[in-house]
Each structure stands twice: as C-alpha cells, then as structure tokens.
Amino acid sequence: MSTVRYGPRSEDQLRNREVQATSVDVWATTLVATYLTDPEVIAAVLPPPIEPGDEPLVKVTIATVDIPGHPTFGAGSFSVRARHEGTDGYYALFMPMTTEQSVIGGRETFGEPKKLGTVVLGQNGDRVEGQIARMGVTIIEVSGHLAETLEIPSEETRTDFYFKFLPAPDGKGFDHDPSLVYCHRTEQTRSLQKVNGEVILRESRFDPVVDLPVREPRNIVFAERSSVQRAEIHGMVPAEWIRPYAHQRYDDLSPMGEE
C-alpha cells in the first residue's frame, strides 16, 4: 500500500515540526518605527492583568521573513509597551501576515493576534517604504530615507505578552480560561541604519490603528535581524477579563463593529 499522507507522523517528523513552529532561527529584513501616543489609549487597549509600561510607546514593525526551505513572506506587528508582574515587554494588538501558515502557527501555538493581510517592504536606493493593508485599505505606511549606519547592538532578548484562547463551539465565550503566554525572542542584528521618515495611519473598521495617534515620533530603523523564540504559559486568566478584548484578534462583523 502506498503511503497515506493523512496518516500518523513518525516521532522524528513530529519533533522536526515542533522545532520549526517554536524555535527556528529566522532572518528578516525589518523596518521598525516607534512613537508616543496618549497614555489613556494605551491603558484602554490592555486586558488585565497586563499594565501600561513606563511610557505610552507604540511599535510598528514591517518585515520580510526568510525561512530556509519556504517562500519569503511578509510579516507585521502593531504593539504597545506593556508590563506584567515586573516584566517589561510588548503587547501586540495586530499582527498581519501574508501566508496562512504564518497566521495559523503563531495563533495556535502562542496566541498571537495574527490575521491575513498584505505586507510590503521595499528599498530603492536610500529610500525605504513599508505598507500594511487589509480589507482593501492601506492602514499603515512607514517610509523615509536612510540617514546613517548605526552601531550593531549586542544580542538581546525581548518579551511579548499574548493571550491564548479559542472561541466556544456555541459562539458564547471561550472553551476555557485563556492562558497568558510569555514569548521570549532572542535577537541578533547584522545591519542597522537610521531612517528619517514618517508613520502614516489610516482608518479601518477592522483594524483601528488610527485610535493610537502619533503624538511624538521616536525613531525609525531599517535592519537585518535574526530571532529565535521560546515561550511558556505564565498562568491562566479569567475568561471574563479577556472576552471584551477578543475583537482585537477577530474581525468584528457584527452591527456593533460598524462605523
């Protein structure tokens, strides 16, 4: 009988897939912009027990990611500075990806708020441009000119906070109380350049990034970075704490979600 590909995988195959899903070393070309917004807005978007960080900082990342053996894909994130039990990190509101595989792996493994979208990053001479689009709207643009080469930083590890949950089959609430996930990314940088540019946010019913306005630009950098990530469940969170924020992950098609 020929191999039945829907049949069970061997232990070696399972281990290989698990490594690829959680700790593969990935190089990416990234355009990262940070800016300050209103403190009360940061407080409003953070589910308990996550708290605002030391300043109302927003981070926009637009990247192309190269995983050996796979097509290059576009990846983005829209995150805010946050803190939990003395650990500083970022809480992502929106993570657009250009492939189904990158969406499903991150959402199901870590609880990342990933959605399919268009993510484009390009360079023409000293000009760099990045765009994120969904549902026919280009909602984020970061663009500018390369200004200077910066010193390569040492290896560093940063923490992101996610809530891992699944909607209940009857459509009411979740299957179980959500898990609070700490995801630690150890990053290395091999090129880093300062960019003189701007961040433009546009209105979208489904991804309302404009609700976090740019009050004070901080910096924009263009870099090549690799990262290895590991994560663990830090604890469980009552479902009623997270349920009001579930629309951050899923497109709200209800009348309440309309403009």
**pLDDT tens, position by position, 176-204:** 999 999 999 999 999 999 999 999 999 99
Q: DSSP strand E in the chain: where?
A: 26-36, 51-52, 57-66, 73-84, 87-97, 114-116, 118-124, 127-134, 137-149, 156-164, 179-201, 216-236
The pLDDT tens digits for 215-225 are 999 999 999 99
Every domain of the chain and the residues it spans: 25-148+191-224
CB 13 within 8 A of CB 3: no
pTM of the model: 0.92
pLDDT for the residue numbered 166: 94
The pLDDT tens digits for 28-82 are 999 999 999 999 999 999 999 999 999 999 999 999 998 776 778 999 999 999 9
Determine the CATH number of domain 25-148+191-224.
Answer: 2.40.400.10
Quickly state the pLDDT bin for 256 (edges 50, 70, 90). Answer: low
Q: Which residue has 């960019």 as its token pair?
A: 195
